[in-house]
Structure 1
Amino acid sequence: MSDPHSIAEARALRDEALAVFRADLDLVKAETSPARFKERAVGEAVEMIESARDIASENKAVIGVTLATLLAWFFRGPLQDLARRLADTVRSGD
């Protein structure tokens, strides 16, 4: 059989391990709470908005050209019709 001293040491180690586990479990519960998820999501969104604002202020011309290109692509059908009508008007001489 084991001596009482080694049993006491084993129990102390077990209790210490259980305390560490419970502390970790409490931390996991706190980090996975809905309030914490919301807090992190809001923090990430604010950080992304600030980054986008910084990039936009440094690259206004690039953003303007990109927006103009997107608008031209979305309205390509009406723009092509307009160009065709203008070309027909120029050819007909009216």
Structure 2
Amino acid sequence: MCLPGEAYEDSGYVVVDELGRPFKTGKLRREAQKLMEEAGVRRVRVYDARHACLSWMANNGVPDTVVSAWAGHSDLSFTKRVHVHPDPQSLKAGSDKLSELLG
């Protein structure tokens, strides 16, 4: 294996190519689908996995600003509006609180 040495970019991204550069969307999708096939798991869209990851973090106590930073967004409201979805436990907690109020 050839190591990139000085050519490697420490970009700070989680998923990078051999030179440390972030994957382009198409390449990321192809590589992820290839890995899912090799692992014998059901294929899912990377976009859906992103939503699931961000929603899980938001619904499990990770501060909104951190979730937004993980998403690479500067607009916190965009992250919450587009990428974060309530989980069943959160919906149940809301229902329980409403039931307490209404008696």
Q: Is TM more than 0.5 here?
A: no
TM-score (norm: length of structure 1): 0.33
Larger RCO: Structure 1 or Structure 2 (Cα < 8 Å, ≥ 6 residues apart)? 2
